[in-house]
Amino acid sequence: MKTIDELLSEGVAGKRVFVRADLNVPLDGTTITDDGRIRAVVPTVKALADAGARVIVASHLGRPKGAPDPAFSLAPAAARLGELLGADVAFAEDTVGTSAETAVSGLADGQVAVIENLRFNVGETSKDDAERAAFADRLAGLADVYVGDGFGAVHRKHASVFDLPKRLPHYAGYLIATEVGVLKKLTDDVRRPYVVALGGAKVSDKLAVIDQLLGKADRLLIGGGMAYTFLKAQGHEVGISLLQEDQIPAVKEYIERAEKNGVELVLPVDVLVAAEFPDLKTKAPANPTTVAADAIPADQEGLDIGPETRKLYASKLADAATVFWNGPMGVFEHPDYAEGTKAVAQALVDAPGFTVVGGGDSAAAVRTLGFDENAFGHISTGGGASLEYLEGKTLPGLAALED
């Protein structure tokens, strides 16, 4: 995989460089609520612009239906990128049409343009190879060189991620190079004890990575909504908590395999419960009750790990040489159910080893809860991509850059 440093050494002045970024940021209307992914691509864009490249930044945002939708416009992300670069950034109101062509042709050396949401074109996400190829051909007409730096999208076989690099000289940006280096530390060059904390809503989203980790990790801490399927698999009442009944056989098998492989599988010993899900808009007090994890009332829902579990999980992370965390421990968006996630984040900060926050909601939680990002070894920009890498899958966007 060639890197951006190799590209810079070859010289980029005057060249049109297409940077596939990940500007898929959360929006409240047109207000960006977390700009972490935009900040992550700035080093690559700035290095190219400073070297005299004419930089075309492209990304998806959300899940529009292959047609323009103002709710998913990249205009706010383009404006924020300009602020972070300290320079004007042109914005094209389409992907491969007149506006994009005008924006790109109007670039001088060292200037930057952002084109509109790639998913406004049906060819970006099409499962039809010919349809994706046709869109990739048009994107290729905008540029001379391709730089892949949208790690959060490399697990997608999309036109701008998989097909476009095949049509242009291609290089990995700083972010992708960093992400891949970090993931190798979690798979090929692991320092032990290796502790993995997994949370989030659905156990089905994590089964494949758990399957792999049962052969690699020393300890596996389970929290979030997925914990209740594990507790049910042990025969405990979980009330009206989030539960995937169809996953119980697989979870039972994993519990047995963890014991057989000597992997310490740690589940909550107490949880915060309430009769209904909290209001995340008003953040009205929820008044939860703490109960033992094996004594959840039939009419109550588990919404966070309890105080004893927080202490337990912190102790299991205290001597970790390597930590990977993906998924919150509870409904962290509400202050009454944020303490479990906060406790795990703090335990990573305090851990002596290399700590990785695995993107997605975990990365959002770290920022929302006010932690210093520099206190962690690495905060990934791609939760799904990180998990698929750890599962051992081939990621299309990385494979395309390696050709």
Q: Quick one: tokens of 304? A: 């966070």
Q: Which residues of 186-203 are buried (b: 16+ CB within 10 A; e: fewer)?
A: beeebeebbbbbbbbbeb
What is the distance between the alpha carbons of residues 65 and 395, in angstroms, rounded to a whole number? 24
Reading the block at residue 385, the tokens are: 């991509």
The half-sphere exposure of 273 on its side-chain side, counting CA atoms within 13 A, is: 25
Of 360, 382, 383, 397, the active-site residue reads 360
Active site annotation includes 202: yes
Q: Residue 312 and residue 195: Cα distance in Å, rounded?
A: 13
Told to judge if 216 belongs to the known catalytic residues of this protein, a careful annotator would answer: no
Give the CA radius of gyration of the chain.
22
Decide: helix, strand or coil at residue 332: coil
- Could you say which of 123, 199, 382, 384 is catalytic? 384
Q: How many Å separate Cα 10 from the centre of its chain?
A: 32
- Per the CB < 8 A criterion, the answer to whether 6 and 47 are in contact is no
Q: Which amino acid is at 175?
A: L
| Marked catalytic residue, from 2, 46, 80, 202 | 202
Q: Which of 15, 16, 20, 37 is catalytic?
A: 37
For the record, the structure tokens of 336 come out as 């009454």
Assess whether 360 carries a catalytic annotation.
yes
290 burial level (CB within 10 Å; 0-12, 13-18, 19+)? middle
Active-site residue list: 37, 202, 360, 384
